[in-house]
């Protein structure tokens, strides 16, 4: 039963509890569908992007975050597309970074803009940063990203280290026949840099030009390979997301595994996603969503309709996704860049 809540998000004692008793305390907010890369697992080569009036303004993004923090959200991840290509994005990070009840402001990026922006992001309040890195070979990196320059990303990683974030983690999507022979080099790179790395099983989102089953690499197999080369210590550490971690003995590096196929992580789901169109997706792998943009624009000075809609959304948050690599068609037609990385 949903109780009536007060107008002020500052004193709102309510938390977001779904029908399965899971508390949502983590949101992933996409601030743009645009990106300077065209990664083959994320979007098509020839993308059509949203017109500006169909994208949340930065002020609307800040308002949404404040409302969610008032409802008990303690972690906010800013995503895209590539969030740092959004003009004046730094303003938003500064606004969110001021929120007293927010424990963590984090960023997912492809690293292309970090060489110039890492220091300012740290000063704005970003505590942790995830950087996508799928290959250490410049030619292969270009093939996977279609437009990316490896050297630029590597310089961005160094800039992030110099900026002094609490944590830097690489995110790698493994694909058989593309980069599955780079598991060990990527982990060794993370160890050398004294940063973390997570391997993410490719998700069946968007209509790409390869079958997901043919390129699927199980994290169980990846872990087995790494255990044959490194002394790994199982860890109960968590960063609030779905990754399961292992510490590499005698190093500063931990290895995470995000496994939507080989280990369904839905039982402990604590997050929702908001697209740059203001669509509140209750699950990455389902189509259940609530349109928040119309409420933002119809009630510019009253958060109550927005709060009520968000609370009501908990009743339709599904138990989990049902990804199936054997399907001829992708589970979800929308690209990952639409939902937010």
Cα separation, 64 vs 294, whole angstroms: 12
Give residue-wise pLDDT tens across range 232-260: 999 988 877 778 999 999 999 999 999 86
Number of domains in the chain: 1
How many residues are listed for the chain in this entry? 341
> Within 13 A of 305's CA, how many CA atoms are on the CB side?
13
What mean pLDDT comes out for the span 45-57? 91
Q: Is residue 2 part of a domain?
A: no
Compute φ and ψ for 44, nearest 5 degrees: -80, 165
Check: CB of residue 55 under 8 Å from CB of residue 277. yes
Q: Is the pLDDT of residue 335 over 90?
A: no
Residue 323, pLDDT > 80, answer no
Contact 235, 208 (CB under 8 A): no
pLDDT value for 5: 39
- CA-CA-CA-CA dihedral for 17, 23, 26, 30, to nearest 10: -40
Q: For the chain, report the end-to-end CA distance as a whole number of angstroms.
A: 32
283 domain residue, yes or no: yes
Helices (H) and strands (E) in the chain, counts: 11, 14
In percent, the amount of the chain with pLDDT more than 70 equals 84
3-state secondary structure of 308: helix
Instruction: Assess whether pLDDT exceeds 50 at residue 4.
Output: no
In a domain, 88, yes or no: yes
Task: Tell me how crowded residue 214 is: count the other CB atoms within 10 A of its CB.
Answer: 10
Cα(126)–Cα(117) distance, rounded to whole angstroms?
A: 11
- Alpha carbons within 13 A on the beta-carbon side of 156: 25
Cα→Cα distances 161→122, 157, 170, 307, Å: 11, 6, 12, 38
Residue 8 lies in a domain: no
Q: What is the arithmetic mean of pLDDT over 136-154? A: 97
Any idea what the CATH number is for the domain that residue 23 is in?
3.20.20.70
- pLDDT of 327 > 60? The answer is no
Structure confidence at residue 338 (pLDDT): 60
Q: Which domain holds residue 133?
A: 16-339
The per-residue b/e assignment along 274-301, b for 16 or more CB within 10 angstroms, e otherwise, is bbbbbbbbbbbbbeebbebbebbeeeee
Q: Is residue 300 part of a domain?
A: yes
Q: Is the pLDDT of residue 27 over 50?
A: yes
Tokens 């809540």 -> residue: 5
Half-sphere exposure (Cβ direction) of 323: Cα atoms closer than 13 Å: 21
Q: Give the pLDDT band of residue 309 (cuts 50, 70, 90).
A: very high
Handedness of CA 210, 131, 136, 256 (dihedral sign): negative
Exposed e or buried b per residue across 303-322, where buried means at least 16 C-beta atoms within 10 angstroms of its C-beta: beebbeebbebbeebbebbe
More confident residue, 1 or 209: 209
Amino acid 297: pLDDT:
98
**For residues 14-34, average pLDDT:** 93
Q: Which alpha helices (DSSP H) does 126-279 contain, by range? A: 138-145, 150-163, 183-193, 212-215, 219-229
Residue whose structure tokens are 């790994």:
232
Please tell me the least confidently modeled range out of 10-24, 32-46, 199-213, 256-270.
199-213
Question: Taking all residues of the chain, what is their mean pLDDT, rounded to a whole number?
Answer: 88
Note whether residue 4 is domain-resident: no
**pTM of the shown model:** 0.87
C-alpha–C-alpha distance, residues 151 and 137, integer Å = 10
Give the whole-angstrom CA distance, residue 162 versus residue 165. 8
Residues 158-202: pLDDT tens digits? 999 999 999 999 999 999 999 999 999 999 999 999 999 999 988
CB 241 within 8 A of CB 198: no
pLDDT in tens, 61-79: 999 999 999 999 999 999 9
Identify the helix (H) or strand (E) that includes residue 29: strand 26-30
- The whole-number pLDDT of residue 243 equals 83
Q: Which of 77, 38, 158 shows the shortest CA–CA distance to 340?
A: 77
């Amino acid at each position: 039963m949903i109780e009536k809540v007060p107008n002020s998000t500052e004193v709102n004692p309510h938390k977001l509890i779904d029908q399965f008793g899971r508390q949502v305390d983590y949101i992933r907010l996409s601030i743009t569908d645009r990106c300077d890369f065209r990664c083959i697992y994320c979007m098509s080569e020839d993308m059509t992007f949203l017109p500006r009036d169909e994208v949340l303004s930065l002020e609307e993004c800040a308002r949404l975050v404040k409302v969610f923090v008032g409802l008990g959200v303690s972690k906010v991840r800013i995503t895209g597309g590539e969030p740092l290509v959004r003009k004046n994005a730094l303003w938003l990070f500064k606004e969110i970074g001021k929120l007293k009840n927010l424990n963590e402001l984090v960023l997912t990026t492809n690293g292309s803009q970090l060489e110039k922006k890492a220091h300012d992001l740290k000063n704005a309040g970003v505590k942790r940063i995830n950087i996508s890195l799928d290959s250490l070979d410049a030619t292969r990196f270009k093939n996977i990203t279609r437009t990316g320059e490896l050297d630029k990303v590597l310089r961005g990683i160094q800039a992030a280290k110099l900026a002094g974030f609490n944590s830097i983690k690489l995110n790698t999507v493994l694909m058989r026949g593309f980069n599955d022979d780079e598991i060990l080099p990527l982990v060794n790179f993370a160890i050398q840099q004294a940063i973390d790395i997570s391997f993410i099983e490719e998700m069946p989102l968007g209509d790409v030009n390869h079958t997901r089953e043919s390129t699927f690499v199980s994290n169980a197999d990846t872990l087995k390979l790494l255990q044959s080369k490194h002394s790994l210590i199982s860890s109960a550490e968590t960063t609030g997301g779905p990754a399961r971690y292992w510490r590499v003995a005698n190093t500063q590096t931990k290895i995470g595994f995000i496994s939507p196929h080989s280990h369904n992580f839905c039982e402990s789901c604590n997050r929702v996603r908001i697209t740059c169109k203001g669509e509140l997706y209750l699950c990455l792998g389902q189509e259940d969503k609530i349109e928040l943009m119309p409420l933002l624009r119809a009630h510019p000075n009253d958060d109550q309709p927005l709060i009520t809609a968000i609370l009501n959304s908990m009743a339709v948050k599904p138990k989990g996704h049902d990804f199936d690599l054997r399907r001829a068609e992708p589970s979800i037609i929308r690209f990952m860049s639409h939902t937010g990385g």
